[in-house]
Amino acid sequence: MTTATPRAMIALAMDSLTEIARQVSNCTDCPLNKTRTNTVPGDGPETASIMIIGEAPGYNEDQQGRPFVGAAGRLLDQLLRSIDMKREEVFITNTVKCRPINNRDPLLDETAACKKYLDRQINLISPQVIVTLGRYALSAFMPNAKISNVRGIAQNVNNQIVFPIYHPAAALRQNKFRQIISEDMQKLSTLLNSKGDPGPDDNDPKSQQLSMF
């Protein structure tokens, strides 16, 4: 997280998820505003201990203005239930708040234009753990990381714990990813129960990764 100036701290104190959603609904800061049906700012409580960040809204999300309402969303709900969590307890959003046409990847300048909203949401919620879904959301925090190398391993990014997993849509396309995501969710549960400290594991050199950033 960034260190806020006094002026920024006053602005932050007056900020709210509702205000961010209102600004997003009027936003024309990147070309995605021209093709959206609805903006999709994100859903969930400001007190959430987990913030889940995906890539971008898809067709169903664009139609309904809510994140993860399609098949991938239903799988995400199942995965949350597998660690005794409900969707209502987590905040879910995307790196961009408007749907890229034909579900293409967001462009770098679109993500950059939208980052201010994501940063404000993170500052307000101050989650214990940010869970990134897929390589694109991961790249917003660790541009050079390869998801196959870091998934399921807690990362310290600017003093924020980031826990990358594969995108649920990958599990819908290939069954092998479902098992991997399920296993990573159990690791996430262990991480949450340890209050964000994964602890050393002498048998797993990858577990040292948290201290590398």
Cα separation, 57 vs 67, whole angstroms? 6
Which residue do the tokens 């690791």 mark? 187
Could you give the angle at the alpha carbon of 123 between the alpha carbons of 114 and 28, nearest 5°? 20
Could you tell me which residues come within 8 angstroms of residue 1 by beta carbon, excluding any fewer than 6 positions away?
A: 122, 123, 126, 158, 159, 160
Which residue, 97 or 151, is less far from ligand SF4 as judged by CB?
Answer: 97
Contacting ligand SF4 within 106-145 (CB under 6 A): 110, 113-114
Which residue do the tokens 């940010």 mark? 130
**In the numeric block, which tokens belong to residue 100?**
């890229």
- Each residue 43-82 as x (binds ligand SF4 by CB under 6 A) or -, in order, gives ----------------------------------------
Which residue, 113 or 122, is less far from ligand SF4 as judged by CB?
Answer: 113
Among 17, 20, 21, 30, indicate the residue that binds ligand SF4 (CB under 6 A). Answer: 30
Cα separation, 163 vs 150, whole angstroms? 8
Considering the rule CB under 6 A, would residue 29 count as an interface residue with ligand SF4? yes
Among 17, 20, 21, 32, indicate the residue that binds ligand SF4 (CB under 6 A). Answer: 32
- The residues binding ligand SF4 (CB under 6 A) are 24, 27-30, 32-33, 39, 96-98, 110, 113-114
